[in-house]
């Protein structure tokens, strides 16, 4: 399989606060990687570093051999929306259409009929068609999440970066989204930040835990040791005892 | 023709009201939805430093204000990027420095007091034909820019990071908008003065955003409201012999309050209907 992303000895800091320490990770084409870890563990920071949205201290990130700044438009990005201005005047369809701007150039930033069709197709798929022209603030948290997934998919990127796309979603929709991602995975590489330790095992091909350092088992399975290292506490505490045993590798 | 239209300065100021309403409707809506009201007010005060310096050395006032304003914004960006201090404190210090520099240089220029007042409070009745042409030119460029980049501007304003990931020209467009905001403010200062210019820019879009959730509608409504308030203001200030800029702003504020009350009542009503 093709290696598409190579992270080597990566250190990232906000001022003096070291957030990522010596991260090494290779990502291959059509991987479906889940990144687990406690809040503040640096998961969002790692995704932003991949996108070239923040300065890295030392180390390197190569995406198809290029720096993030050059290759960031290969990603479809679903941010962990917590700093959005929900009062901003934009409708659901316009949020999704903005993903299509990736293909615009030469002073032509208008949306084509094709763009609208793609956006409506996505709305339909995610059960949001009735909300098409609603203002973004009128949606529930889970619906907003789906809109951002649609926006990322509208970019038709080969690599998807999803930052906690299923937080706030109810179990049914959560499963739908994972099924959908699984289906997409036959064509796309997916990097997913999540807390759903229980569910993901059936879907993802690899799991790693991030808490400043990256804990990764070469088999791609979650191990008790990994979780313990990342969460600094007994595993069943963070998993609330619901962690199915098959998720844990033999150790 | 009513008596009021007989004077050229009245005709000029009506044209000024219409042209400035277009400028302020577009720029003001952008400022309001991006929550840049404070920084824009800071630009308005800071450019006074440039006005003072240009006045003293006999440069072109507009050029002085523009260069000073843009330099201040660049320095501000650098300070915020490299020295992590509270953003609003730094902006507050910047605007005070600009004002202080302006006051000193205008004081040093002979015959300062009348000029000081004309910049602080403005006078739409004294707008020259040349200035009207400048505003018209700005409007044409602004309209073209907004039509071409509307979708990009909205995407950047809503989610800057995502626009960066799409490799849209985010930095260039943000910088272009800073330049437009600065020019719009400098041209509007002539009409209502440094102290009131931010109200001229932000009250109409604030009212419009009570009723519309769509950026295009907010812009168009703001332009119409701007023209309405401006014309009412001219009429009242002419008839009661009051300073025009202040009358325009007070009329805007009254409308703002009425709209606010109207909106709250409407919300209450809608809420009761649900119950
Ligand atoms: N913009 C920022 N400026 C300063 N510190 C930040 C910033 N963003 C995140 N941090 C810090 O970096 C650490 C990791 O944050 P984050 O990557 O958001 O973690 P996670 O997504 O795993 O919850 C946290 O301690 C947080 O306080
Ligand atoms: Mg996060």
Beta pairing partners, A23: A10
What digits encode the pLDDT tens for the residues A71-89? 899 999 999 977 899 999 9
Bridge-based pairing state of the strands A58-63 and A206-211: unpaired
- The pLDDT-based confidence of A197 (bands split at 50, 70, 90) is confident
A72 to B167: CB separation less than 8 angstroms, yes or no: yes
Write down the pLDDT at residue A234. 43
Residue A139: predicted pLDDT = 93
What residues contact A168, with CB distance under 8 A and at least 6 apart? A141, A142, A145
> A45 CB less than 6 Å from ligand 1?
yes
Cα B239 from chain centroid? 26
Which residue ranges make up each domain of chain A? 3-247
Sheet holding A75-78, edge to edge: A75-78, A159-163, A189-193, A32-36, A206-211, A213-216
Q: Name every chain B residue with its beta carbon within 8 A of the beta carbon of A116.
A: none
Task: Quickly state the pLDDT bin for A229 (edges 50, 70, 90).
Answer: low
CB A18 less than 6 A from any atom of ligand 1: no
Residue A225 has pLDDT above 70, yes or no: no
Residues B143-177 have pLDDT tens digits of 999 999 999 999 999 999 999 999 999 999 999 99
At residue A205, what are phi and psi to the nearest 5 degrees? -95, -25
Chain A residues touching chain B at CB-CB below 8 Å: 15, 48, 51, 53, 72-73, 75, 77, 79, 84-85, 87-91, 94-95, 97-99, 101-102, 104, 107, 109-111, 135, 151, 155
User: Can you tell me the distance from the alpha carbon of B96 to that of B49, in angstroms, rounded to the nearest whole number?
Assistant: 10
Helices (H), ranges, B122-243:
129-158, 160-165, 170-211, 215-240
pLDDT band at A224 (very low <50, low <70, confident <90, very high): low
Give nearest CA residue, ligand 1 atom 24.
A40
A3: enclosing H helix or E strand: strand A3-14
Structure tokens at A29: 């084409």
Q: What is the mean pLDDT of residues A202-208?
A: 85
Span B28-53, average pLDDT: 95
How does the average pLDDT of chain A come out, rounded? Answer: 86
Ligand 1 atom closest to the Cα of residue A163 is: 21
pLDDT of residue A248: 43
Q: Two tokens at B121?
A: 């409070």
Q: Is the CB of A43 under 6 A from ligand 1?
A: yes
Architecture of domain A3-247: 3-Layer(aba) Sandwich (3.40)
Which residue does chain B place closest to A106, by CA atoms?
B148
Q: For residues B169-194, give the mean pLDDT.
A: 95
Question: Which ligand does the CA of A80 lie closest to?
Answer: 2
Minimum-distance ligand 1 atom for the alpha carbon of A42 = 17
Instruction: For residue A43, give the ligand 1 atom closest to its CA.
Output: 22
Q: Which residue has the tokens 């005892």?
A: A241
Nearest CA to ligand 1 atom 6: A14
ipTM value > 0.95: no
Residues 56-85 of B with CB under 8 A from A: 84
Nearest to B33 among A89, A98, A107 (CB): A89
Strands in A17-28's sheet, in edge-to-edge order, are: A17-28, A3-14, A58-63
B window 195-214, beta carbon within 8 A of A: 209, 212-214
Q: Which of B160, B207, B237, B247 is nearest to B25 (CA)?
A: B207
Residue closest by Cα to atom 18 of ligand 1: A44
Distance CA A70, CA A82 (A): 27
Confidence class of residue B273 from pLDDT cuts 50, 70 and 90? Answer: low
Which residues in chain A have their CB less than 8 angstroms from residue B152's CB? 101, 104, 109
- Compute the distance between CA of residue B81 and CA of residue B96 in angstroms, rounded to an integer: 21
A178 to chain B, minimum CA–CA distance in Å? 23
Q: Are A9 and A62 in contact (CB under 8 A)?
A: no
pLDDT (tens digit, 9 = 90+) per residue, B205-253?
999 999 999 999 999 999 999 999 999 999 999 999 999 999 999 999 9
Residue A235, pLDDT above cutoff 60 = no
- CA-nearest residue of chain B to A53? B161
For residue A12, what pLDDT is reported? 95
Q: 3-state DSSP call for residue B149? A: helix
State the nearest Cα–Cα gap between B80 and chain A, in angstroms: 13
Query: What mean pLDDT is predicted for residues A129-143?
Result: 93
pLDDT at B112: 61
Q: How far apart are CA B191 and CA B13, in angstroms?
A: 9
Mean pLDDT within B100-124: 85
Whose atoms come closest to the Cα of A81: which ligand? 2
Q: Report how far ligand 2's centroid is from the alpha carbon of A49 (Å).
A: 13
In degrees rounded to 5, what are phi and psi of residue A148? -70, -30
Is B65 within 8 Å of B75 (Cβ atoms)? no
Beta strand A159-163 pairing with A75-78: parallel
Question: Within chain A, how many helices (H) and strands (E) appear?
Answer: 9, 9
Distance between CA atoms of residues B252 and B241, nearest Å = 18
Flag whether pLDDT at B88 surpasses 80. Answer: yes
Mean pLDDT of chain B: 92
pLDDT digits (tens, 9 = 90+) for A21-69: 999 999 999 999 999 988 899 999 999 999 999 988 899 999 999 999 9
Chain A residue with CA closest to B150: the answer is A109
Task: Give the Å distances, CA to CA, from A69 to A54, A62, A66, B163.
Answer: 10, 10, 8, 13
Q: What is the pLDDT of residue A217?
A: 66
Residue B138 to residue A9: CA distance in whole angstroms: 51
Burial of A104 (0-12, 13-18, 19+ CB in 10 A): middle
**Cβ A48 under 6 angstroms from ligand 1:** no
Could you tell me if the CB of A188 is within 6 A of ligand 1? no
Share of chain A above pLDDT 90, in %: 61
Tell me the pTM.
0.90
Tell me the DSSP string of A36-71: E--TTSSHHHHHHHHTT-S--SEEEEEETTB-HHHH
Query: Which of B152, B166, B172 has the highest number of chain A CBs within 10 A, making it the mutation to test binding with A?
Result: B166
CB-count burial class (<10 Å; 0-12, 13-18, 19+) for B248: buried
The whole-number average pLDDT for the span A193-209 is 83
State whether residue B272 sits within 8 Å of chain A by CB: no
Check residues A169 and A222 and name the one with the higher pLDDT: A169
Cross-chain Cβ contact A73/B165 below 8 Å: yes
- Using the predicted structure, report yes or no on whether residue A233 has a pLDDT greater than 60: no
Q: Which CATH superfamily is domain B2-274 in?
A: ABC transporter involved in vitamin B12 uptake, BtuC (1.10.3470.10)
User: Could you say which residues from 210 to 239 on chain B have a Cβ atom under 8 Å away from some Cβ of chain A?
Assistant: 212-215, 218
**The most confident of A97-101, A176-180, B110-114, by mean pLDDT:** A97-101
Min Cα separation B32/chain A (Å): 9
Instruction: Choose among A195, A193, A86, A201: nearest CA to A147.
Output: A86
Question: What pLDDT does residue B268 have?
Answer: 85
């Amino acid at each position: 399989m093709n290696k598409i992303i190579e992270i080597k000895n990566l250190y990232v800091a906000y001022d003096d606060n070291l957030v990522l320490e010596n991260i090494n990770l290779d990502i291959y084409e059509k991987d479906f990687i889940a990144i687990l870890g406690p809040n503040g563990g640096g998961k969002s920071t790692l995704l932003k570093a991949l996108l070239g949205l923040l300065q890295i201290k030392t180390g390197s990130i190569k995406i198809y051999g290029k720096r993030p700044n050059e290759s960031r438009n290969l990603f479809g990005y679903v941010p962990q929306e917590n700093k959005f201005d929900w009062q901003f005047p934009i409708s659901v369809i316009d949020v999704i259409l903005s993903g299509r701007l990736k293909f615009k150039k030469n002073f032509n930033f208008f949306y084509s009929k094709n763009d609208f069709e793609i956006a409506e197709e996505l709305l339909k798929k995610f059960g949001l068609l009735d909300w098409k022209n609603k203002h973004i603030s009128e949606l529930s948290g889970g619906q907003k999440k789906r809109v951002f997934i649609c926006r990322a998919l509208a970019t038709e990127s080969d690599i998807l970066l999803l930052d906690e796309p299923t937080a706030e979603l109810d179990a049914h929709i959560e499963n739908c989204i994972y099924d959908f991602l699984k289906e997409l995975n036959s064509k796309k590489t997916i990097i997913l930040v999540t807390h759903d330790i229980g569910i993901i095992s059936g879907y993802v091909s690899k799991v790693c835990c991030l808490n400043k350092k990256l804990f990764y088992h070469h088999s791609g399975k979650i191990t008790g040791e990994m979780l313990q290292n990342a969460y600094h506490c007994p595993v069943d505490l963070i998993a609330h005892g619901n962690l199915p045993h098959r998720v844990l590798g033999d150790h | 023709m009513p008596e009021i239209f007989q004077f050229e300065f009245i005709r000029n100021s009506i044209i000024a009201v219409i042209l400035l309403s277009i400028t302020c409707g577009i720029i003001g809506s952008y400022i309001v939805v991006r929550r840049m009201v404070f920084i824009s007010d800071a630009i308005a005060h800071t450019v006074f430093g440039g006005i003072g310096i240009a006045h003293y050395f006999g440069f072109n006032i507009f050029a002085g204000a523009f260069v000073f304003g843009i330099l201040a914004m660049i320095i501000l960006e650098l300070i915020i990027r490299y020295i992590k201090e509270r953003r609003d404190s730094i902006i507050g210090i910047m605007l005070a420095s600009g004002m202080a520099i302006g006051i000193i240089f205008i004081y040093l220029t002979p015959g300062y007091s009348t000029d000081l007042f004309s910049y602080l409070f403005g006078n739409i009745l004294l707008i020259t034909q040349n200035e009207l042409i400048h505003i018209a030119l700005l409007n044409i460029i602004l309209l073209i820019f907004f039509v071409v980049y509307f979708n990009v501007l909205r995407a950047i304003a809503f989610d800057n990071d995502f626009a960066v990931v799409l490799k849209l020209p985010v930095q260039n467009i943000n910088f272009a908008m800073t330049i437009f905001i600065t020019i719009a403010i400098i041209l509007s200062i002539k009409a209502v003065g440094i102290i009131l210019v931010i109200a001229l820019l932000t009250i109409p879009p604030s009212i419009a955003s009570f009723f519309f959730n769509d950026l295009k509608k907010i812009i168009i409504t703001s332009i119409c409201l701007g023209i309405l308030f401006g014309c009412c203001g001219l009429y009242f200030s002419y008839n009661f012999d009051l300073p025009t800029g202040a009358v325009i702003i007070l009329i805007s504020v009254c409308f703002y309050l009425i709209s606010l009350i109207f909106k709250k009542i409407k919300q209450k009503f809608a809420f009761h209907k649900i119950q």
